[in-house]
């Protein structure tokens, strides 16, 4: 039976350390500040933004929650970002994605000052990451690395298979895992919609990371005995027995996977709590630069 990797517990430990660091920084007159911009009224995005705001408050950080109507123009959003870039109270800027279709996402990401790009999406941040230079690491991949570290799971020499090639998870995580760093030195295979014989690939994985956004697509027959399974997916499936009419599941069929895996992350409560935590980590790191 698999050992559960408790993302809530790891996140709580990291946040405790961050809170102590924030308290020390405040004594020097610096309060880490995060600006979160939400366009429109998507329920999932709204809930996520509220969680970020609460997390900032819990750590003693400054949070600026900016909510704009769906019809906000790209020009107005770019003007807001320019103001935030110059605002000395703000150490990190996060524009909640996805954006309305009339706004070019790439233009918005590039407009954010790289020194405040706590999401790690700016091309300069991505380039520095690839070159193994100091930069803000994207939050979900960084959170996964922390989960492996806290669970004492080494990636050195291991075969890692990632299912999913998104800019947010699959691509950056691939790069991080084969770097010559304490979290890397793995042999990485990336699978996607054009991959033939997906099962043959996943069965080779010492560490299998599912980040495809397809509910319970990874079944036990696709998992090597005693593999480590990291489930990044968060999917809503209809369930009339639940008060909300749905339940959350990952990209892995959790119950059956537990019979094969040595370690596994649950959904919810696995990777999810780490994403916001690493966003706070990056914001604190940005604020530390003000002190130096």
Chunked into runs of 10 residues, the chain (292 residues) has average pLDDT values of 97 97 95 96 80 92 95 98 97 94 97 97 97 96 98 98 97 97 95 96 98 97 98 91 89 97 97 96 95 76
CATH 3.40.50.720 residue window(s) in the chain: 139-272
139-272 CATH: 3.40.50.720
pLDDT for 50 equals 86
Binding residues: 164-166, 234
Binding residues for NADP(+): 164-166, 234
CATH 3.40.50.10860 residue window(s) in the chain: 29-114
pLDDT for 246 equals 87
pLDDT for 125 equals 97
| Residues known to be catalytic | 52, 96, 119
Please give the Cα distance from 53 to 132 (Å, whole number): 31
pLDDT for 43 equals 77
Using N-to-C axis directions, what is the helix angle for 43-59 and 7-27, rounded to 10°? 50
Q: Tell me if 195 sits within 8 A of 170, measured CB to CB.
A: no
pLDDT for 190 equals 98
Please give the Cα distance from 177 to 173 (Å, whole number): 6
Class of domain 29-114: alpha beta
The pTM score is 0.95
């Amino acid at each position: 039976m698999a050992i559960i990797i408790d993302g809530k517990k790891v996140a709580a430990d990291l946040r405790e350390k961050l809170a102590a660091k924030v308290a020390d920084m405040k004594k020097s007159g610096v309060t880490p500040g995060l600006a979160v911009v939400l366009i429109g009224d998507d329920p999932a995005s709204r809930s996520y933004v509220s969680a970020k705001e609460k997390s900032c408050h819990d750590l003693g950080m400054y949070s600026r929650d900016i909510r704009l109507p769906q019809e906000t123009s790209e020009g107005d959003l770019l003007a807001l970002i320019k103001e935030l870039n110059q605002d000395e109270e703000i150490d990190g800027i996060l524009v909640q994605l996805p954006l309305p279709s009339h706004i070019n996402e790439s233009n918005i990401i590039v407009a954010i000052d790289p020194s405040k790009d706590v999401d790690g999406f700016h091309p300069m941040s991505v380039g520095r990451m690839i070159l193994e230079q100091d930069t803000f690491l994207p939050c979900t991949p960084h959170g996964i690395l922390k989960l492996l570290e806290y669970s004492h799971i080494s990636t050195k020499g291991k075969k890692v298979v990632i299912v999913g090639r998104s800019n947010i998870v699959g691509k950056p995580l691939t790069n991080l895992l084969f770097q010559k760093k304490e979290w890397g030195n793995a042999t990485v295979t990336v699978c996607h919609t054009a991959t033939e014989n997906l099962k043959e690939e996943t069965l080779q994985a010492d560490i299998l990371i599912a980040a495809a956004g397809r509910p319970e697509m990874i079944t036990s027959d696709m998992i090597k005995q005693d593999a480590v399974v990291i489930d990044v997916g968060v999917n809503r499936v209809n369930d009339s027995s639940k008060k909300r009419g749905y339940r959350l599941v990952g990209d892995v069929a959790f119950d059956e996977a537990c019979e094969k895996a040595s370690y596994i992350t649950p959904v919810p409560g696995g990777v999810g709590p780490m994403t916001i935590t690493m966003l706070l980590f990056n914001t604190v790191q940005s604020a530390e630069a003000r002190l130096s």
